[in-house]
């Protein structure tokens, strides 16, 4: 049986936080406490991801679910036609010389290898940011036992996504925006975006709400709005298991060019003056 959000004791997902903020210890602590912990595959080698998967599993009881975030397959940039055309112009000469032109590479994050690893290791939940895999890749992940979540920041992305669940990320999100078009991410606040997405997609499609959720009241709000869970990054990064100091300010490495919302997450935010939970409560 693939993972269902109904399995969670607490409707709380730890945001993956690529770039060092999330750790296997944090993911395991959250999952063991009844939420859903997440690892981030982005920026890491396939070997690193494999080690972290082993680490998170060894830190948890058997069968406790967890997730892994994967950067979506890279696009081909605006130069695809030009590069192909140039390669074509060389092909006859290359064949005459018995030389292989090779394949054009557009990916520096090992997407294909990571996908193979996920399928091999049967990761319970795979969330995608920066795009949606092709339907045959979604099917392949599902067949190997993974629930596939896609991160969306606009109604258009939500409508286009083929997934088991949508992570709906409002403009308040503290990390990079996870939308399909990094140059033009959605700019709508979470609560408005939830209502807009709900009007556009099937009622039965589970939604995980993300962006600016820092309190129990905020979590209650998105659940009342129909989300099945709340995804929290900054608050988890501030916990003892998270790499908080590296992740809550603006020092985090970013694939996105879009900054965190300074008035929610910046050093003047009231959250930085409040005590934060040091460690999730463990299940009895």
Which residues here bind a copy of itself, judged by CB under 8 A?
154-155, 170-172, 186-192, 194-196, 198-200, 211-215, 217-218, 220-226, 261, 263-264, 269-271, 274
CB-nearer residue toward a copy of itself: 22 or 154: 154
Residues in Cβ contact with 27 at an 8 Å cutoff, skipping those fewer than 6 apart:
14, 37, 38, 39, 56, 66, 67
CB-nearer residue toward a copy of itself: 20 or 189: 189
Distance between CA atoms of residues 234 and 149, nearest Å: 20
Q: Tell me the Ramachandran region of residue 19: left when phi exceeds 0, alpha when psi lies from -120 to 50, beta otherwise.
A: left
Phi, psi of 69, rounded to the nearest 5 degrees: -95, 135
72 exposed, middle or buried (CB, 10 Å; 0-12, 13-18, 19+)?
A: buried
CB-nearer residue toward a copy of itself: 146 or 239: 239
Distance between CA atoms of residues 277 and 280, nearest Å: 7
Least distance between a copy of itself and beta carbon 75 (Å): 23
Least distance between a copy of itself and beta carbon 188 (Å): 5
CB-nearer residue toward a copy of itself: 75 or 189: 189
Least distance between a copy of itself and beta carbon 204 (Å): 15
Least distance between a copy of itself and beta carbon 190 (Å): 5
Least distance between a copy of itself and beta carbon 203 (Å): 11
To which H or E segment does residue 69 belong? strand 66-71
Residues in the chain: 284
CB-nearer residue toward a copy of itself: 123 or 232: 232
User: Which residues on adjacent β-strands are paired with residue 209?
Assistant: 168, 230
């Amino acid at each position: 049986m693939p993972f269902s959000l109904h399995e969670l004791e607490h409707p709380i997902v730890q945001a993956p936080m690529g770039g060092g903020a999330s750790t296997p210890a944090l993911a395991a602590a959250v999952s063991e406490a009844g939420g859903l912990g997440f690892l981030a595959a982005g920026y890491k080698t396939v070997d690193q991801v494999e080690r972290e998967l082993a680490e998170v599993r060894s830190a948890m009881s058997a069968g406790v679910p967890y997730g892994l975030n994967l950067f979506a397959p890279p696009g081909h940039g605006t130069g695809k036609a030009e590069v192909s055309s140039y390669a074509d112009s060389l092909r006859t000469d290359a064949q005459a010389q018995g030389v292989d032109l090779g394949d054009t590479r557009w990916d520096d994050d090992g997407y294909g290898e990571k996908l193979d690893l996920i399928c091999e290791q049967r990761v319970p939940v795979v969330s995608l940011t920066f795009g949606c895999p092709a339907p045959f890749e979604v099917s392949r992940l599902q067949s190997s036992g993974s629930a596939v979540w896609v991160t969306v920041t606009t109604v258009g992305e939500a409508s286009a996504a083929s997934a088991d669940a949508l992570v709906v990320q409002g403009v308040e999100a503290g990390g990079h925006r996870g939308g399909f078009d990094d140059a033009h991410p959605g700019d709508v606040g979470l609560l408005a975006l939830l209502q807009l997405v709900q009007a556009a997609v099937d009622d039965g499609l589970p939604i995980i709400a993300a962006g600016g959720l820092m309190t129990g009241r905020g979590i209650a709000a998105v659940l009342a709005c129909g989300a099945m869970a709340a995804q929290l990054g900054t608050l988890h990064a501030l916990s003892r298991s998270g790499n908080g100091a590296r992740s809550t300010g603006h020092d985090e490495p970013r694939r996105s060019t879009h900054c965190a919302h300074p008035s929610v997450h910046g050093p003047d935010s009231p959250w930085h003056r409040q005590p934060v939970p040091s460690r999730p409560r463990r299940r009895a």
